[in-house]
Structure 1
Amino acid sequence: MAEQYSQWRAMLAIMKGSIRAIFRSPSTVVFSLAFPLIFILVFGFMGNRGVTVKVGVDPRTDTTAALYKALVAKPELRLVTDETTAEMAQDLQKGRIAAIIYVQSRPSAGAPNDSILLRTSSAAGQNIRVFRSLLAETIAGLNDQWYRRAGSVATVATEVVPGRKYTTIDFILPGQLGFSLLSAAVFGTAFLFFSLRQTLVLKRFFATPVHRGYIILGEGLSRLLFQLFGAVVIISIGYFAFGFTLINGVSTFAEMLLLCAFGLIVFMGFGFVVSGIAKTESTIPPLANIVTLPQFLLAGTFFSVDSFPTWLQPICRIMPLTYLNDALRKIAFEGLHLWDVWPQIMVLGLWGVVIYAVAIKVFRWE
């Protein structure tokens, strides 16, 4: 008796071959993993630092003055002492430094009696306001140190409750993860199935007993596994290298992966649509960019949707990537669970229903 043909074994064979092809494709690895990691590394190294203001120091400054020593101790200030007066003057005119300071220590029997001459320019912009604030804070600290009063008209009691600091990486990483899923799903799926049609691979598949659904399932699972591998790498680097918040540890990590898988399945529908309507391979990038580029810019990838103009925010909130990014951030930092972000999941699901309905209409096998 002949052995019955196994559709599942055929699907797994297709998936295995597709995964090998993905890892052998440099462009796929670069766009799916390298680009998001570069952004995460950049924002991870730079984003968590506070504001730093450059200020030039006049060569005549008394470096033993109490005020100067207090300014040196400020981590927000970078005092430039290795330039000539002429070089600092040019930097001041070009806005490269906020000001040039000249600190003098005047004779005094008790507490310090310092003076500071501040030279700035109209090119300093916001930096001079930041520096003035830091200078006022420094002087106030010295006054409190040297001129303490015995009593006070009021006492202040402060209660500090536990809290978590929301850093730049906590915002950027979910956005980059979401965009990585979107771009890989749209570009990868579109190029893959267009290439399979053009090279007549799909036609050869039809000569085998493999059903069409298992062909799509095998190729889809290969993309899913590759992107989940990428998500693991991105989250792990963010967590161990830059302190990305996973509030509930392993369970939060697992819920993020499940959400990524759901988002990827939805986004692959856009790839099917693009591959179906593209007439030539050269038309795929413009069509795919129409889908991905607006979401890259407006769906909360780099900036919060609330920071955009009021008239633009409704457009931002239509995009499916907005809801995936929002759900990932709520799960990672706020400690919510999948059932708590059901509004975001529901909108993604509605997008999935609509886009796959369109994909069924426009998708071509030959």
Structure 2
Amino acid sequence: MTSFWALTRAQWFGFWRDKQNWFWLLAFPLMFLVLFGFLFRDAGASKSSLTQIGSVAIIDQLPAEAKAQFDNLFEVTKTDDAAAALEEVRKGDVDGAVEQKGNEVILHYSQADQVKAATVRGTLGAFVDGANVAMSGQPPTFTLKAEAAEDDSLKPIQFIAPGLLGWAVAMGATFNAAMPFVTWRTNKLLRRLRLAPMRTESLVSSRLLVSIAVAMIQMGVFLAVGVGLFDLKLTGSWWMAIPLLLCATIAFMAIGLIAGAISKTAEAASGIANVIILPMAFLSGSFIPLDQAPSWLQTIAKFLPLGQLNEGLLDSLVRGEGPGAALMPMVYLLGFAVVFGLIAARLFRWED
């Protein structure tokens, strides 16, 4: 135990004396949180751009209440030049162009963007249906009331912060294992430590303790900035993020140990760690939500350790779930840590 605490103390001070660690493991991921937080701070439902060709009675004669709803959904530009309006639609400058011939309302849209086309068709179709009902004087048999599953307090920061926190912790744990061990091996420090009365378990566990402490600091800084600067609201059993991040640190440190074991230089270890973590961050929804991603990509994310971590952080921090929501991701991460930890143990080398 004496050697364990001595190693832990030495590695802790060594970590903070290296200013690059401050940047890459704290300032760099925090920069993404601040950037995305400000970008999406006032994000709301975007309007569809619509060009009105000539007179369109269904738009011009809308009642005041319906006109207010229409203006919230569409940004309308009026023109009498039908050819120019259609050219704007083809170029993608506007989402659609609408004109009226007799009782027929014609919507021109581009097939190049199926999402925008479906949005404009569906929204404008609802107003046409409403006008038909008003003209017939017959009330509709069925009405639709759409409500968001989340309350009004759920802002983009609620989804941004957990994903970026997961990426920051994964990157920190991986690099905290990969870089030091390959450096110590190349400068012969590991050979000296091997000659001392010290077990391999003490060396690795002391580094793990430092990595866990760094992960807790990352969590504290991320949540403080999210809550204080962007009104991040912590719900449910948010404190379950602590044991979840602990399990994640163990899992990603196992990845880092493998990267350090198979690398001959610190640069190679850094490259391997980046090749593993960066694509995994995109595939796991750390930067881009996977709600609209193909089903096969969402399935892949469930098998990735960072995907499990992000899902567990979302459930714990912002979805209001109970403690049980984090248990399955924790079990998965610990199982991942066992398998890859055993591989790292087989590959571990004291010297080149």
The question of a shared fold, defined as TM-score above 0.5 by the shorter chain, is answered with yes
Equivalences, count: 346
Change (3 A) 1:194 1:162: closer
Q: How far is the alpha carbon of 1:271 from its aligned partner?
A: 0.4
Equivalent residues in 2 for 1:317-336 (5 A)?
A: 317-336=302-321
Of residues 294, 305, 311, the one that matches 1:308 is 294
Say whether 1:279 aligns with 2:264.
Answer: yes
CA-to-partner distance for each residue in 1:336-359, whole Å, 9 max, x for gaps?
344454332222111111111112
Structure 1 residue runs without a partner (length 5+): 107-113
Of residues 335, 344, 347, the one that matches 2:329 is 344
1:111 aligned residue: none
Could you state the TM-score of these two structures normalised by the residue count of structure 1? 0.72
CA-to-partner distance for each residue in 1:24-79, whole Å, 9 max, x for gaps?
5534445543345545555x348x532431112458789x9333971685322222
Say whether 1:229 aligns with 2:224.
Answer: no
Change (3 A) 1:157 1:284: closer
Of residues 16, 31, 34, the one that matches 1:34 is 31
Q: How far is the alpha carbon of 1:142 from its aligned partner?
A: 6.2
Could you state the TM-score of these two structures normalised by the residue count of structure 2? 0.75
Instruction: State whether residues 79 and 85 of structure 2, in contact with CA within 8 Å, keep that contact through their aligned partners in structure 1.
Output: no
Give the whole-Å Cα distance in 2 for the aligned partners of 1:348 and 1:85: 59
Structure 2 residue runs without a partner (length 5+): none
- Name the stretch that deviates more: 261-270 or 172-181: 172-181
CA-to-partner distance for each residue in 1:313-341, whole Å, 9 max, x for gaps?
66544322232222222223443344454
Give the whole-Å Cα distance in 2 for the aligned partners of 1:222 and 1:195: 17
Equivalent residues in 2 for 1:1-366 (5 A)?
A: 8=5, 11-21=8-18, 25-29=22-26, 31-35=28-32, 37-39=34-36, 42=39, 44-45=40-41, 49-58=44-53, 65-67=60-62, 70=67, 73-80=70-77, 88-101=85-98, 118-123=107-112, 125-139=114-128, 164=151, 169-203=157-191, 213-239=201-227, 244-248=232-236, 252-301=237-286, 302-304=288-290, 307-310=293-296, 315-366=300-351
Change (3 A) 1:124 1:272: closer
CA RMSD between the two structures: 4.5
- % identical equivalent positions: 21
- The secondary structure found in structure 2 opposite 1:365 is coil
- The secondary structure found in structure 2 opposite 1:75 is helix
1:109 aligned residue: none
Give the whole-Å Cα distance in 2 for the aligned partners of 1:126 and 1:306: 11
**Matching residue's letter, 1:53:** S
Instruction: State whether residues 8 and 209 of structure 2, in contact with CA within 8 Å, keep that contact through their aligned partners in structure 1.
Output: no
Instruction: State whether residues 11 and 207 of structure 2, in contact with CA within 8 Å, keep that contact through their aligned partners in structure 1.
Output: yes
